[in-house]
Chain A
Amino acid sequence: MESPFDRNGLFSGLYGFFADLTPESFAWLAYLLAGVVVVFIVINGVMLLTAFETYMERRVLGRFQTRLGPNRVGPFGLLQPFADVFKLLIKEDLRPAMADRLTFFLAPVLMVAAILLVAAVVPFGPNTFLADLNIGVLFIVGIPTIATVAMFLGGWGSGNRFALLGAARAVAMLISYEVPMIVSLAGVLLLAGSMSLVDVVEAQRLPFIVLQPLGFFVFLVAASAEMNRSPFDLMEAESELTAGFHTEFSGIRFGLLQLAEFGELVIISAVLAVIFVSGWQNPFVSPDYAQWLPGQLWFLLKLVFFLLLFTWIRATLPRMRVDQVMAFAWKALFPLAIINTLVTAVLVVAWPEPEYGQLWIMAAINWAVAIACLVLFSRFLERHRERPTASVQLVEIPAEAS
């Protein structure tokens, strides 16, 4: 049987290195050491990316708001995330008297663990990944759900009503958004013919964003709800619930929750880059041609692009209300995802082995369907026919003589 590590260049290289050092009979030791080193690299790489992302987000958000953003610590404020972590570490770790000791302790840990676990299957470049799981796509939509449980534990366990409301919102919303998120990936899976993320990347002769515009849209929206980003940041809606489920967390527990939140953002952006814009491949030419840049760099560029996209969305949009968010998931996103899957299925049956040219025809059909669906749905969901600003009119009143 093929081991999941066989395609992993990083791992096999390290394994070879340690195997040379250790005696023949200690092969398991070399295996273990190589594994530990690779895991160490990946976890710290993700954490560093997350730290960089918090800095970038604050900086870019500042520029969107024509502010400066953090620029005091280190050159251009680059050391800001480290200063933040240090500050959180030396803060007192408060636990409210009403809090449940176990759940309050478990929530941040569980949340970080769930997020870091997803990093295991994300291919960061050719031969640069921890594991090529053959159910990778299922893994990346399934495991973050543990974070939802952690959120609920945290909110319920902190014995605060704001936190409880936030936790209740979290559970209700995340479970709803899991559904369109998974269904929106069905089209991709049909086209790729495999659930392994490495296979998905290699199957993209044309980036799937071109072939699956509707799927991309639904996944983008559902993912931003899943990771609790504006405009779906209901569970920590600061203008309503002060901080939602993490109202009571302070010190390094709060730091862990923030790490998990931004870590999820990084991971989801990575997944978007892998699934929809062909991961480590050059998205502008078919993989048969020159790649221009090393694969890891392509991946990083796409990752940063998605991070910036999410920052842009956050900078612009206000928050939706909880019932509107739910209605949006079930009335708009879910049917769109289903339609997308059906259309893709028909196309895949029609051209099981599409040529490069036929791919473009598929893309054209999908785009037509996507635009038609969006127009129809927005018509259907529209509540105000006339111009919204028409409700206020200027009135000329004659001035009374005083």
Chain B
Amino acid sequence: MVNLPSEQITINLGPQHPSTHGVFRLRVTLDGEVITDVEPIFGYLHRGTEKLAEERTYTQIVTLTDRLDYTSSMINNQAYVLAVEKLAGVTVPPRGQYLRVLTAELQRIASHLMGVGFFLQDLGASGTPLMYCFRERERILDLFEMLCGARVTVSYMRPGGVFQEPPPEFWPAVRHLLDTTPDAIAELERLISENEIVLARTKGVGVLTKEKAIDSAVSGPNLRASGVAWDLRKADPYDVYADMDFAVPVGSNGDSYDRFLVRVMEVHQSIRIAEQCYRDMPGGPVRSELPFFFRPPPGDAYAHVEASKGELGFYLVSDGGIAPYRCKIRSPSFINLTVLAEMLIGWKVADLMVIFGSLDVNMGEVDR
């Protein structure tokens, strides 16, 4: 047997790489194709959101939260305004709460579609599933444009409700969307979820065990795919989620495929919730009047929501001024990313992107 000399090579995936979902860098050590060491390096997208928040009034911070996880701005808005309302002791009129839940669920659909689309893109599908996902997402963004004039950075919610009554044409548009989206999702499932190549690439790949997931405080679809039935919309209902009737998809293997499928099934549940909001939408004002510059009493408050990526929490400390004394953001992507290195070792380069894509992290939220 000839003793061939061989050595490991280190490659930098990112910060500019076709599939790192933002500006993220992975320094990977490879033995041939097999990953032996991973060092995630982030911070390229750091904008100092938490510090900026100390310089902004409570209303102005809403615009900052749009830019955390830019694929689900509505849910970020919601988490933040819930924290402010807790801090200031404001109640929200029911119509405002329903509108928030409706838009948050639509945003969840859009975000999951994007997550699934990019996951499949990482699998090497040449853009087709991504395009189909974007086609559906685009229709949801059209609704947001109707509501608040912007498609991505919505700034739709305000402490005390939502910013304005939706225009009259919004309701038929929602009806149309709710009628047609299930078919479009079903088409996507036909395209992908039983495809043999997808199965071979994702089944059993990148397993995150239940214990490991709980120990690392992983949340959201990634946690549920590992077999933990935990959803903040059920465990600590906010707004009107307590009145909503929906089920939570829970995986059993914790592999990439389960994470993917949990997202797809959550889309169906989100449609169900949006359907109920549409049906039960109460009348009345959408916003309880708060002055633009208001001073909550000194104290602190933490509010968390089930964002599309996991548990998103805002911790605000007020010193009685017009701006928070401290704002801490618990971003789900950042914490979900902590398990990445461990999940990758032993897999091949091709699996790296699959596992990373299946975690569905958003760098805007990781670096803040």
Give residues in A with beta carbon < 8 Å to B.
Answer: 61, 64-67, 161-162, 164-165, 169, 230-231, 233-234, 237-242, 314-324, 383-384, 388-389, 391-402
Contact = CB atoms under 8 A, between A and B. Distances in A.
B339 to A, nearest CB: 19
A239 B252 contact: no
Interface string B230-241: 010111111001
Nearest to A314: B126
A394 B249 contact: yes
Given A241-B349, A400-B234, A395 B128 contact: no
Interface in B318-368: 348-353
B247 A396 contact: yes
B262 interface: yes
Contacts of A398: 234
Given A165-B30, A241-B349, 13 more contacts: A239-B121, A242-B17, A314-B126, A316-B191, A318-B120, A318-B198, A319-B123, A322-B350, A324-B201, A388-B193, A388-B203, A394-B249, A400-B236
8 contacts: A238-B18, A319-B124, A320-B201, A383-B203, A389-B194, A396-B248, A399-B234, A402-B242
B33 A392 contact: no
A165 B30 CA distance: 10
Contacts of A323: 348
Contacts, number: 150
Given A233-B124, A402-B242, A320 B197 contact: yes
A162 B11 contact: yes
Interface in B126-185: 126-128, 131-132, 135
B122 interface: yes
Contacts of A64: 128
A240 B350 contact: yes
Contact of A401 (B10, B242, B353): B242
Contacts of A388: 193-194, 199, 203, 257
Given A242-B17, A315-B126, A389-B194, A399 B237 contact: yes
Given A237-B124, A238-B18, A322 B195 contact: no
B366 to A, nearest CB: 20
B235 A394 contact: no
Determine which residue in A66, A242, A316 has the highest number of CB atoms from chain B within 10 A of its CB, and name it.
A316
A239 B251 contact: no
Interface in B264-319: 265, 269
B128 A384 contact: no
A176 to B, nearest CB: 15
Contacts of B199: 383-384, 388
Contact of A395 (B131, B250, B350): B250
Contacts of A397: 229, 231, 234-235, 247-248
Q: Rank and list the top 9 A-B pairs by shortest CB-CB distance, nearest first.
A: A319-B124, A318-B123, A65-B131, A318-B125, A394-B247, A239-B19, A397-B234, A392-B261, A321-B350
A324 B200 contact: yes
Contacts of B242: 399, 401-402
Contacts of A396: 247-248
A317 to B, nearest CB: 6
B97 interface: no
Contacts of B258: 391-392
Contact of B351 (A314, A321, A391, A394): A321
B237 A317 contact: no
Contacts of A241: 349
A240 B126 contact: no
A324 B198 CA distance: 12
Contacts of B131: 65-67
B25 to A, nearest CB: 13
Contacts of A164: 9
A397 B231 CA distance: 9
B222 interface: no
A128 to B, nearest CB: 34
A133 B307 CA distance: 66
B102 interface: no
A147 B249 CA distance: 49
B245 to A, nearest CB: 9
Nearest to B191: A316
Contacts of A61: 126-127
A384 B249 contact: no
B253 interface: yes
Contacts of A239: 18-19, 121-124, 353
Nearest to A67: B131
Nearest to B189: A389
Given A242-B18, A321-B348, A400 B237 contact: yes
B225 interface: yes
B261 A389 contact: yes
Nearest to B252: A391
Contacts of A320: 124, 197, 200-201
Contacts of B352: 240
A399 B234 CA distance: 4
A67, A318, A393 pick with most chain B CB within 10 angstroms: A318
A248 to B, nearest CB: 14
A384 B257 CA distance: 13
Contacts of A394: 247-250, 265, 269
Contacts of A401: 242
Contacts of B249: 392-395
Nearest to A402: B237
Contacts of B132: 65-66
Contacts of B30: 165
A2 to B, nearest CB: 47
Nearest to A230: B126
Contacts of A242: 17-18
B353 A240 contact: yes
A384 B203 contact: yes
A319 B128 CA distance: 13
Contacts of B349: 165, 240-241
A231 B349 CA distance: 17
B129 to A, nearest CB: 8
A384 B196 CA distance: 10
A238 B121 CA distance: 10
B128 A389 contact: no
A56 to B, nearest CB: 15
B250 A392 contact: yes
A19 to B, nearest CB: 51
Contact of A399 (B126, B128, B241, B253): B241
A98 to B, nearest CB: 14
Contact of A389 (B9, B120, B193, B200): B193
A54 to B, nearest CB: 14
A238 to B, nearest CB: 5
Contact of B251 (A66, A240, A391): A391
A164 to B, nearest CB: 8
Contacts of A67: 131
Contact of A315 (B121, B128, B250): B128
